[in-house]
Amino acid sequence: MKRVWLVLFCLALIPVEMIWSGYALSILWKWFVVQPFNLHPLSVFQATGISLVIGFLTHQYIKNDDDSKEELVRATLIGFLRPAIALFLGRIITTLM
């Protein structure tokens, strides 16, 4: 029963994760595209859509024989950490520009 709740919890986090990725992309877009090239900024929802398209086109799935709940938790954590790390590194780069 715990596994079912874990799966449902991770599935419920997918929309939050998508919006978080879109937010990160909109900030990175502002830092590295809008300011240097004087282009239009992206809204969070536009960036979320672009993030979905890019993820759809570039997703690489490596099948893991161990289909455990640890793998599900790991994938969920990566989904939240990747945008955070990108924003952190992007901020460092903007201070060096």
Supply the pLDDT for residue 4: 84
Count of domains observed in the chain:
1
Averaged pLDDT for residues 2-24: 88
> Cβ(22)–Cβ(47) under 8 Å?
yes
Domain that holds residue 14: 2-96
Q: What is the pTM of this model?
A: 0.83
Q: What is the pLDDT of residue 23?
A: 96
DSSP state at residue 40? P
Measured at the CA of 69, the angle between CA 9 and CA 63, to 5 degrees, comes to: 115
pLDDT digits (tens, 9 = 90+) for 29-88: 999 999 889 999 999 999 999 988 988 888 766 666 666 777 778 888 888 999 999 999
Alpha helices in the chain (DSSP H): 2-29, 35-37, 44-58, 69-96
Quick one: angle between helices 69-96 and 2-29, nearest 10?
20
Residues 75 and 78: their CA atoms lie apart, in Å, by 5
